């Protein structure tokens, strides 16, 4: 017979240049200004508690049963019941004793989940965290409702210094409104993760395949005597790197340093290569539920120039400003996040783009349960440049849904809409640009496909811009594979 495990579920993250003349080359450069102002990289962040044992359930033994190992090995009912309790308690000593008996039982008395769960606990007990984490993930890929398995996975991730992944699992568990004892334990872990003073590093690579790198309109588009540039394709690699550290100094205050870099390298269209780096150092305040940080920053961007420029990277722009970030857990299921950023921008050659911007963002995340979450965000960007026809206001909204499916599959879907209105007409066309932007993105991955801390993700994205000027309307479809790791 197969054992039916009844385990409580506890489970639960641009801009037009003023035309000096009316050549098609300048129209291309105009499109390139739009691209350089629009495609902005966004940095990310994080952070172990003192090891806290799982709360052990009290076992009342009113009487002891004495028998030999030979007699015990012939009692599959006793072995199975004892192992279930040991697994629920994450009692490695008991699991170590019982597992040899259970694994030798006839197959009709074995449950594959209990075997794998036992192996995960023993691997964690022996310090083989990679093996333990893999087995826990495999179990949850098949049975995502096993809350105790998710809790043990979160603790193993924490002990293996996979802090971002551990925090994500703890938040999922907390969203399920577990017993107060478990909730208190989770809060201690989350607080310790946030407070831990250690360097954190992360990075990733993405295969890029952009069929319209210059954001050109539909082929053959004309406006009066002018013809729009033809679309260009590009294939390459996108990359990102992040390093950060916190210095806690009591009373919930801390200093934080962040360094992030990202870029794109196209081997068959190098004039669109770009690299940017941002460094910030600031002050923060945090509790188990609330975090606020003020981070002054400086940023440099290198860009080959796009359109008809050379293929070599050169200094393109610099920015300096500050970001104010806040995050608050309204309840175990609801999280609110917001940010405000102001910066002064200076361009090496494209002086007409010099100016400043204000960016405001606010969003909510709802953890429905351990297998599903929803998120939303509204954002506002006001960019003021030297030439008014390059100044704009952009208002946007993002909606998304994440889901763990049977058979180990996970998906993340997001859709977005924005209106971007410029402040003055373009000198040549006499049109004040009004754009509507639409977008959608779908990512797919398998939770059990996990190598060296990396889970590959396949992503498809669609972007559409509908403008009152035909030269600035375009569609773009992209598919790419993402690889990222925290170390």
Which two structure tokens, joined as six digits, stand for 31?
């499109």
Question: 36 in a domain, yes or no?
Answer: no
Among residues 155, 174, 195, the one where a domain terminates is 195
- Read off the CATH number of the domain in which 90 is found: 1.25.40.10
- Enumerate the β-bridge partners of residue 385: 355
- Enumerate the β-bridge partners of residue 169: none
Which two structure tokens, joined as six digits, stand for 153?
């996975």
Counting DSSP H helices and E strands in the chain, the numbers are 9, 16
Three-class secondary structure of residue 262 per DSSP: strand
270-288 tens-digit pLDDT: 999 999 999 999 999 988 7
- Read off the CATH number of the domain in which 222 is found: 2.40.160.40
Confidence at 33, pLDDT banded by 50, 70, 90: low
Closest CA to 284 of 257, 259, 258, 255: 255
Indicate the range of 30-39, 115-124, 155-164 predicted with least confidence: 30-39
Indicate the range of 133-137, 178-182, 216-220 predicted with least confidence: 216-220
Same domain assignment for residues 227 and 283 = yes
Angle formed by the axes of helices 112-125 and 147-159, nearest 10°: 20
Question: 26 in a domain, yes or no?
Answer: no
Same domain assignment for residues 156 and 255 = no
Same domain assignment for residues 166 and 204 = no
Same domain assignment for residues 316 and 451 = yes
Confidence at 26, pLDDT banded by 50, 70, 90: low
Cβ count within 10 A of residue 428: 19
189-243 tens-digit pLDDT: 998 888 777 888 999 999 999 999 998 888 888 887 788 888 899 999 999 999 9
Same domain assignment for residues 279 and 345 = yes
Domain interval for residue 440:
198-486
Question: 184 in a domain, yes or no?
Answer: yes
Question: 63 in a domain, yes or no?
Answer: no
Q: What is the maximum alpha-carbon separation in the chain?
A: 98
Question: 50 in a domain, yes or no?
Answer: no
How distant is the alpha carbon of residue 20 from its chain centre? 43
Three-class secondary structure of residue 33 per DSSP: helix
> In this structure, are residues 37 and 353 in contact, taking their beta carbons and an 8 Å threshold?
yes
Question: 462 in a domain, yes or no?
Answer: yes
Same domain assignment for residues 144 and 219 = no
Beta strands in 216-371 (DSSP E): 222-223, 226-227, 234-248, 253-266, 274-286, 290-303, 314-329, 334-347, 355-369
Same domain assignment for residues 380 and 454 = yes
Confidence at 335, pLDDT banded by 50, 70, 90: very high
Same domain assignment for residues 366 and 433 = yes
Residue 15 backbone zone (phi > 0: left; psi -120 to 50: alpha; other: beta): left
| pLDDT over 70 at 79, yes or no | yes
Closest CA to 272 of 308, 227, 317: 308
464 vs 145, residue with greater confidence:
464
Same domain assignment for residues 99 and 215 = no
* β-bridge pairing 253-266 and 274-286: antiparallel
Res 423: pLDDT:
95
Which two structure tokens, joined as six digits, stand for 18?
């003023």
| pLDDT over 90 at 444, yes or no | yes
Among residues 162, 195, 228, the one where a domain terminates is 195
Number of domains in the chain: 2
Which two structure tokens, joined as six digits, stand for 416?
């977005």
Q: What does residue 84 show for φ and ψ, rounded to 5 degrees?
A: -60, -45
Res 291: pLDDT:
92
Indicate the range of 59-73, 110-124, 400-414, 471-485 predicted with least confidence: 59-73
Q: Work out the mean pLDDT of the chain and round it to a whole number.
A: 84
Same domain assignment for residues 334 and 482 = yes
DSSP 112-164: HHHHHHHHHHHHHHTT-HHHHHHHHHHHHHH-TT-HHHHHHHHHHHHHTT-HH
Question: 347 in a domain, yes or no?
Answer: yes
Same domain assignment for residues 190 and 202 = no
Question: 293 in a domain, yes or no?
Answer: yes
CB neighbours of 224 closer than 8 A, spacing ≥ 6? Answer: none
Among residues 195, 214, 234, the one where a domain terminates is 195
Q: How many CA atoms lie within 13 A of 445 on its CB side?
A: 20
> In this structure, are residues 282 and 293 in contact, taking their beta carbons and an 8 Å threshold?
yes
> In this structure, are residues 471 and 217 in contact, taking their beta carbons and an 8 Å threshold?
yes
Same domain assignment for residues 184 and 292 = no
Angle formed by the axes of helices 129-142 and 147-159, nearest 10°: 150
Angle at 25 between CA 19 and CA 28, to 5 degrees: 80
Angle at 450 between CA 447 and CA 451, to 5 degrees: 170
% of the chain beyond a pLDDT of 70 = 84
Cβ burial of 294 (10 Å; 0-12, 13-18, 19+) is middle
Site of tokens 């350089």: 36
Angle at 51 between CA 45 and CA 52, to 5 degrees: 115
Indicate the range of 19-28, 134-143, 255-264, 292-301 predicted with least confidence: 19-28
């Amino acid at each position: 017979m197969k054992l039916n495990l009844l385990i409580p579920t506890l489970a639960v993250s641009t801009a037009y240049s003023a035309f000096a003349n009316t050549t098609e080359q300048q129209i291309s450069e105009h499109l390139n200004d739009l691209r350089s102002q629009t495609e902005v990289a966004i940095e990310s962040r994080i952070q172990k508690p003192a090891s806290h044992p799982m709360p052990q359930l009290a076992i009342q033994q009113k009487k002891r049963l004495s028998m030999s190992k030979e007699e015990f090995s012939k009692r599959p009912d006793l072995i199975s019941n004892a192992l279930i309790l040991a697994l629920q308690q994450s009692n490695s000593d008991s699991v170590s004793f019982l597992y040899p008996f259970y694994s030798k039982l006839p197959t009709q008395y074995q449950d594959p989940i209990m075997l794998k769960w036992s192996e995960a606990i023993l691997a964690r007990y022996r310090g083989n965290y990679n093996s333990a984490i893999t087995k826990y993930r495999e179990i949850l890929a098949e049975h995502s409702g096993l809350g105790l398995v998710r809790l043990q996975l979160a603790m193993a991730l924490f002990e293996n210094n996979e802090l971002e992944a551990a925090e994500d699992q703890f938040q999922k568990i907390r969203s399920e409104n577990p017993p107060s004892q478990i909730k208190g334990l989770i809060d201690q872990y989350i607080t310790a993760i946030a407070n831990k003073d250690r360097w954190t590093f992360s990075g990733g690579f993405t295969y890029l395949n952009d069929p319209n790198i210059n954001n050109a309109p539909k082929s053959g588009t004309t406006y009066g005597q002018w013809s729009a540039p033809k679309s260009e394709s590009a294939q390459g690699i996108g990359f990102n790197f992040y390093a950060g550290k916190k210095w806690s100094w009591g009373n919930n205050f801390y200093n934080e340093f962040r360094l992030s870099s990202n870029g794109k390298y196209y081997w068959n269209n190098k004039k669109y290569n770009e690299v940017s780096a941002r460094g910030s150092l600031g002050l923060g305040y945090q509790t188990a539920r609330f975090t606020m940080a003020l981070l002054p920053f400086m940023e440099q961007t290198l860009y080959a120039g796009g359109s008809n420029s050379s293929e070599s990277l050169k200094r393109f722009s610099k920015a300096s400003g500050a970001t104010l970030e806040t995050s608050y857990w309204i309840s175990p299921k609801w999280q609110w996040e917001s940010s405000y950023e102001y910066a002064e921008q200076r361009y090496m050659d494209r002086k007409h783009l010099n100016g400043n911007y204000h960016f405001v963002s606010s969003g909510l995340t709802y953890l429905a349960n351990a297998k599903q979450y929803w998120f939303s965000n509204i954002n506002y960007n006001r960019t003021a440049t030297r030439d008014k026809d390059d100044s704009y206001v952009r208002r946007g909204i993002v909606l998304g849904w994440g889901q763990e499916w049977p058979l180990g599959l996970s998906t993340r879907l997001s859709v977005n809409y924005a209106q971007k209105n410029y402040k003055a007409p373009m000198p040549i066309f006499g049109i004040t640009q009004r754009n509507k932007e639409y977008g959608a993105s779908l990512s797919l991955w398998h939770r059990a496909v996990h190598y060296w801390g990396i889970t590959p993700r396949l992503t498809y994205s669609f972007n559409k811009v509908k403008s009152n000027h035909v030269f600035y309307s375009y569609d773009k479809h992209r598919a790419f594979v993402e690889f990222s790791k925290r170390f």
